[in-house]
Amino acid sequence: MPKHDTPLMDELEKGPWPSFVSDLKRQAEKSPQCWDIVGQMELSYKDRMTHWKHGGIVGVFGYGGGIVGRYSDVPDKFPGVAHFHTVRLNQPSSKFYRTDLLRKLCDLWEKRGSGMTNLHGSTGDLILLGTKTEELEPLFYELTHDLEWDLGGSGSNLRTPACCIGKARCEWACYDTQAACYAMTMKYQDEIHRPAFPYKFKFKFSGCANDCVAALARSDLSAIGTWRDNIRIDQAEVKNYLSGANKANGGGTPAKGDKFDIQKEVIDLCPTGCMWMEGDTLKIDDAECTRCMHCLNVMPKALRPGLDQGASLLMGAKAPILDGAQLGTLIVPFIKMDPENEFEELVDVIEKCWDYWMENGKNRERLGETIQRVGLPTFLRVMEIEPIPQHVREPRSNPYVFWREEEVEGGWQRDIKEFRKKHAQ
């Protein structure tokens, strides 16, 4: 496959940010089909339109997902991308790698595919970008036998779970996000590889309310770490912030104002106003704290999460299609996340939810839309969760309230003749 003339793509080799075009061209020296990737992109830039045909159904035996089929609509011009399927690999939790494994993967992908990748897909998978149908089974064979590495998810199933960096390198992780992510991934391999759901379903695991894996916005079930006792305060380190010996926000916000002002930067920004100074001692009324993380973020050396740790579960986040975007809705305010009991409390919630949604969700209806359709009260009831004020931002303002017949004295079966005895027409 020869090099194409690509004046528009060449423009993207300029500038300081790493250029995907330069990288594609470097790979093309070893994998000539990459010239056709650049060539077809150039045509798209000229036509201002995609040149991939609609859809594509390919895969490996035994699985119903994991590979996204794709075919060029100009295969005669660019035979190197006539087939251009992507393969999703389930990434290790929080994306740490040993180089020996990555090098083996590079060798395999250079042999079986284009040599191009995405590190990583938005859901978390390591994406191998572009190969032919006949390479899929040999690639899968070598991947599972030689690298002991499995595909991720695609289709109406559990997609590849993901987590933040958690306890591996963060002082705020309130539970072991990697362990939870790995345990749920392994427990639900069947649900990942063989679509059995009304639509896609995603898990994400964040260690605290900063939510570095954006669980609350990007997963049908998000577990976000928190605590239910008191923030641990090191008053000596508070004084070091006051004196300027410690840098606010770990030194991450140096531009706006040099001298740290605890009143302005912490106390006045606390969303519940539950903090104050007594002399140079910092006080927190923890019963009023909503654990938003702001004060911990600003003073990481002085303030730490409490010791009674667990997670909040929020459910139903999704992008706009079909009925509008949704963020996760708080369903379970606090559960323990214990690797010792294999995250038993989390598993209980997951399976109750799936039992209901798999039966009641409509075709291509995300969990968040099912909850909207049946109503949060109904969903809480099927989840066997008692309604509490924490489930709402505010109580409803319309009076269109459903009562179930058994909640009303005497039920709903009434006789109009009995009514007429007391109230003539």
Partner 1 sequence: MGYDPENPMKDRITDIGPPHYEKMFPQVIKDNYGKWLYHEIVKPGVLKHVSETGAECYTVRVGCARLVSVEYIREVCDIADKHCDGSVRWTTRNNVEFMVDAESKVQPLLDDLASRGNKFPVGGTGACVSNVVHTQGWIHCHTPATDASGVVKAVMDELFDHFTNMDLPAKCKVALACCLNMCGAVHCSDIAILGIHRKPPMVDHDAITGLCEIPLAIASCPLGAVKPATVKDSSGKEIKSVKVNAERCMFCGNCYTMCPAMPLADPEGSGIAILVGGKVSNTRSGPTFSKLVIPFLPNTPPRWPETVAAVKKILEAWAANARKYERVGEWAERIGWEKFFEITEIPFTDKSIDDYRLAYDTWRTTTQFKFTSHIK
Task: Give the shortest CB-333-to-partner 1 separation in angstroms.
Answer: 13
Task: Give the shortest CB-4-to-partner 1 separation in angstroms.
Answer: 15
Report whether 181 contacts 161 (CB < 8 A).
yes
CA angle centred on 152, ends 26 and 168, rounded to 5°: 85
Residues 88-127 that bind partner 1 (CB under 8 A): 89-103, 105-106, 109-110, 115-120, 122
Task: Give the shortest CB-381-to-partner 1 separation in angstroms.
Answer: 24
Q: State which amino acid sits at residue 2.
A: P
Query: Is residue 20 part of the contact set for partner 1 (CB under 8 A)?
Result: yes
Task: Give the shortest CB-350-to-partner 1 separation in angstroms.
Answer: 17
Residues 226-255 that bind partner 1 (CB under 8 A): 247, 249-255
Hey, which residues does 83 pair with through a beta bridge?
71
Q: Measured from the CB atom, is 149 or 203 closer to partner 1?
A: 149
Q: Measured from the CB atom, is 129 or 353 closer to partner 1?
A: 129
Q: In angstroms, rounded to a whole number, what is the distance separating the alpha carbons of residues 303 and 296?
A: 5
Rounded to a whole number, what is the distance in angstroms from the first to the last CA of the chain? 90
Residues 194-213 that bind partner 1 (CB under 8 A): 209-213
Residues 365-404 that bind partner 1 (CB under 8 A): none
Six-digit token pair at 359?
Answer: 């039966």
Query: Is residue 45 part of the contact set for partner 1 (CB under 8 A)?
Result: yes
Q: In angstroms, rounded to a whole number, what is the distance separating the alpha carbons of residues 176 and 337?
A: 8
Query: Is residue 355 part of the contact set for partner 1 (CB under 8 A)?
Result: no
Q: Helices marked H in 300-392 — which ranges?
A: 344-360, 367-374, 376-382
Query: Is residue 79 part of the contact set for partner 1 (CB under 8 A)?
Result: no
Q: In angstroms, rounded to a whole number, what is the distance separating the alpha carbons of residues 194 and 179?
A: 23
Task: Give the shortest CB-294-to-partner 1 separation in angstroms.
Answer: 5
Residues 259-298 that bind partner 1 (CB under 8 A): 264-265, 269, 271, 291-294, 297-298
Hey, which residues does 330 pair with through a beta bridge?
314
Query: Is residue 218 part of the contact set for partner 1 (CB under 8 A)?
Result: yes
Q: State which amino acid sits at residue 286.
A: D
Six-digit token pair at 259?
Answer: 């001298």
Q: In angstroms, rounded to a whole number, what is the distance separating the alpha carbons of residues 394 and 354?
A: 28
Query: Is residue 256 part of the contact set for partner 1 (CB under 8 A)?
Result: yes
* Closest by CA position to 30, among listed 116, 124, 99, 90: 116
Query: Is residue 334 part of the contact set for partner 1 (CB under 8 A)?
Result: no
Query: Is residue 331 part of the contact set for partner 1 (CB under 8 A)?
Result: no
* Per-residue mark of binding to partner 1, 149-178 (x: CB under 8 A): xx-----------x-xx-xxxxx-x--x-x
Task: Give the shortest CB-383-to-partner 1 separation in angstroms.
Answer: 22
